[in-house]
Amino acid sequence: MSMNVLEVMSKLPHRYPFLMVDKIVSLVPGKEIEGIKNVSINEPFFQGHFPQAPVMPGVMIVEAMAQVGGILALQVIEQSASEGVVYLMGLDKVRFRKPVMPGDQLHLKLRILKQKGFVFKLQGEAFVDGELVAEAQILATLEDKKEKETE
């Protein structure tokens, strides 16, 4: 299963300048997902990080991983952004291996390590040209808007 950016936007509440997913290239519900983030010199964070030598902030790479992981979590319980929101709960084992520059294409791969109810532990990896540039374990939870409205 794949998704274009419009389908991604139907799953995530994020919008410019904070949408960090351009495409989902594969998704195995309940198991793993792979997404793409095209890194453009037009990203707002490059104005200050750093003007003379632009490098994508590590926190934005992790955010891109978390957004792709959020799509996987929402797919597991078959919800869209209008029905549920994924919140970041924690990060472990975060490592940055190589700078990400304008013109790079981030390949974001995530897999579910553990799930208990609406809490997910994900292993995320980011690659550029097949080389690992960042990795993290992500703990996230899903808020079910439908369930909250009926309370």
Positions annotated as catalytic residues are 49
Which runs of E-coded beta strand occur in the chain? 23-28, 32-38, 84-96, 105-116, 119-128, 131-144
- Separation CA 35–CA 144 (nearest Å): 24
Q: How far is CA 138 from CA 10, 25, 90, 120, in A?
A: 22, 20, 6, 8
